[in-house]
């Protein structure tokens, strides 16, 4: 496959420091309330409920009292080489060349779910049910994000409407470029431990560009060449080992 030039334009990305993440779930809730995500009676059905940002709990598998637990918040990886985009038959999802964000047009999606089969991160979810908000709760819906209908696929958009909002503001002020903290997704903003850093990977001045150079930085399933723009940091070897598949002897410890 032809590799496209990813050095141009903005390439928004994220670094999630798993040493700082306490798994509190605020990012997930901030995301849900920012993006008008519906609720079901049975939210315990993780294979059917709607979340754009899923949190995985992972243990090191050791016995008491050597057990360790970490949490992996997983938004859409916004891959530079997205497996989901080329498969969509109706061009309902695309990579925005100016931001690197993978868009999803809900009103065009036909609900074939091919993109979900393509994504190994389970970042895409399908509306098996009609969107539902308990009685009275439609009063907090934000007009910035349209609620999705049954039968379409949806996913994390890096709060694209916030990018639009920031751009509109910059436009009014006659600026072309956004400041580093001017556009950040709701989950990043909400993280109480500031475990998530957001920025433009193509901008060397942004903190994120420095962070991804850390020997402890990694991405999920890097070997599959999806080129995710969401990075993680952990000083723990077992955590980094957990991020990808390795044959025995392949993984190098970097403590």
Partner 1 sequence: MDLPLIPKGVERCSLKTFAPWMFLWLLIMAWGLVSAFLCLYKGLNQTNMNHYFAFGLWIVFDLSVIALGAGAFFTGFLTHIIGKDELKAIINPAVVIGFICYSAAIATLGIDIGQPIRGWFIFWHANIHSMLTEVSFCITAYLGVLTIEYLPLILSNRKLNEVPEFNIFGNNLHHIVALFAAAGTFLSFFHQGSLGGMYGVLFARPFAFREGFLIWPWTFFLFILSSIAAGPSFTLLCVWITQKVTGKELVKRSVFNTLAKISGWLLASYIILKIIDTISWAYGVVPRAGLSFMDFYKGSYGIWLIIAEIGIFGIIPAIILITPKYRERNHLLIIGALMNITGIVLNRFVFTVQTLAIPVMPFDKFMGYLPTWQEWGIMMGAIGYGILLFSLSYRYLPLFPQEPEINPVKVFGHIITDSGVIRRS
Partner 2 sequence: MEFNRRNFIKFAVGGTGGILLSPLPWKLIDDIAIWTQNWSWVPVPVRGKFSYLNSVCTLCPGACGIQVRKVGSRAVKIEGRGDYPVNQGGICPLGMAGLQILYNEGIRWKAPMKRVGPRGSQEWKEIPWDEAIDELATRIKGLREKGSPEKLAAIDGNQSRSTMALLIKRLLSSIGSPNYMVMPREEDTYDMVNFLMQGSRGPIAFDLENADFIVSFGCSLFDGWGAPGRMLSASREWVKNKTYLVQIDPRTSNTASKADLWLAPFPGTEAALALGMAHVIIKEKLYSKEFIENHTFGFADWFEEDGVKHKGFSRIVLEKYSPQVVENITGIKGRVIIEVARKFASAHAPIALAGRGKGTLPGSLYEFMAVHALNALKGRVNKKGGPLIADDIPLAQWSDPEYDPVAMDGLKKARVDLAKTPRYPFSRSLVNKFTETINNSHGSPIDTLMLFSANPAFTIPDSQSFIKAMAKIPFIVSFSPFMDETSLMADLILPDHTHLEKMADIVWPTGIQYPLYALSQPVVKPIYRTEHSGDVIISLAKRIGGPVSGSFQWANFEEALKERVKGLYDSGREKVSWADIKENGYWSIPAHSFEGGSDIFQTPSKRFEFFSTEIELAIKAYSKGKSFDDALLDLGISSKGDEVYMPHYEEIKSGADKKEYPLLLFPMELINLASGWIGNPPYLNKTLFDHQLKRDDLFVEVNPKTASQYRLKEGSKAIIRSPKGELRVRIHLFHGAMPDVIFIPFGLGHTAYDKYLKGKGVNPNEIIDQVEDPLSGQPVWWNTRVKLIRI
* Interface residues toward partner 2, by CB under 8 A: 19-20, 22-26, 28-30, 32-34, 36, 39, 41-46, 49, 51, 55, 57, 59, 61-65, 67-71, 107, 130-131, 133-143, 145-150, 186, 189-195
Residue 212 CB, shortest distance to partner 1, in Å, is: 20
Minimum distance of partner 1 from residue 130's CB (angstroms): 7
| Beta pairing class for 124-126 and 153-155 | antiparallel
For the record, the structure tokens of 179 come out as: 């400041």
- The H-or-E segment that residue 199 falls in is strand 196-200
Write down the least CB distance from residue 77 to partner 2, Å.
20
Q: Which residues bind partner 1 (CB under 8 A)?
A: 1, 45-48, 56, 58, 72, 83, 86-92, 108-114, 116-122, 124-130, 149-153, 220-221, 223-226, 242-247, 250
The binder of 134, among partner 1, partner 2, none, by C-beta within 5 to 8 A per type, is partner 2
The nearer residue to partner 2, 4 or 181, going by C-beta atoms, is 181
Closest approach, Cβ 167 to partner 1, in A, equals 26
> For residues 201 and 26, is the Cβ–Cβ distance under 8 A?
no
254 binds, among partner 1, partner 2, none (CB under 5 to 8 A by kind): none
List the single partner that 250 binds among partner 2, partner 1, none, CB under 5 to 8 Å by kind: partner 1
Q: What, of partner 1, partner 2, none, does residue 226 touch, CB below 5 to 8 Å by kind? A: partner 1
On whether the CB atoms of residues 202 and 10 are closer than 8 A, the answer is yes
Residue closer to partner 2 by CB (options 62, 175) is: 62
How far, in Å, CA of 52 to CA of 26, rounded?
Answer: 13
Nearer to partner 1, 49 or 214 (CB): 49
Length of the chain: 255
DSSP assignment of 141-193 equals --TTSPPPPTT-EEE--SSHHHHHHHHHHHHHTT-SSPPTTTS--HHHHH-TT
CA distance 76 to 123: 5
223 binding partner (options partner 1, partner 2, none; Cβ < 5 to 8 Å by kind): partner 1
Q: How near is the Cβ of 226 to partner 1 at its closest, in Å?
A: 5
Contact 15, 208 (CB under 8 A): yes
Q: How far, in Å, CA of 37 to CA of 54, rounded? A: 13
Inter-residue contact 155 to 106 (CB < 8 Å): no
């Amino acid at each position: 496959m032809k590799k496209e030039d990813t050095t141009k334009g903005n390439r928004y990305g994220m670094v999630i420091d798993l040493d700082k993440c306490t798994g509190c779930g605020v990012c997930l809730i901030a995301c849900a309330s920012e993006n008008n995500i519906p609720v079901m009676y049975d939210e315990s059905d993780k294979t059917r409920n709607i979340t754009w940002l899923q949190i995985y709990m992972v243990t090191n598998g050791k016995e008491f009292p050597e057990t360790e637990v970490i949490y992996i918040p997983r938004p859409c990886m916004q891959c530079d080489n997205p497996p989901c985009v080329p498969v969509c038959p109706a061009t309902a999802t695309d990579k925005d060349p100016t931001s690197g964000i993978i868009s999803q047009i809900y009103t065009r999606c036909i609900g074939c779910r091919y993109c979900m089969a393509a994504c190994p991160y389970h970042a895409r979810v399908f509306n098996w049910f009609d969107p539902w908000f308990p009685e009275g709760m439609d009063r907090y819906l934000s007009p910035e994000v349209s609620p999705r209908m049954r039968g379409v696929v949806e996913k994390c958009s890096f709060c694209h409407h916030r990018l639009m909002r920031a751009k509109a503001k910059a436009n009014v002020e006659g600026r072309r470029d956004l400041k580093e903290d001017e556009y950040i997704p709701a989950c990043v903003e909400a993280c109480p431990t500031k475990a998530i850093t957001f920025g433009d990977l193509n901008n060397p001045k942004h903190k994120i560009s420095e962070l991804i150079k850390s020997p402890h930085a990694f991405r999920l399933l890097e070997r599959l060449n999806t080129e995710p723009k969401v990075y993680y940091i952990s000083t723990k070897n077992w955590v980094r080992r957990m991020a990808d598949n390795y044959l025995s002897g392949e993984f190098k410890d970097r403590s």
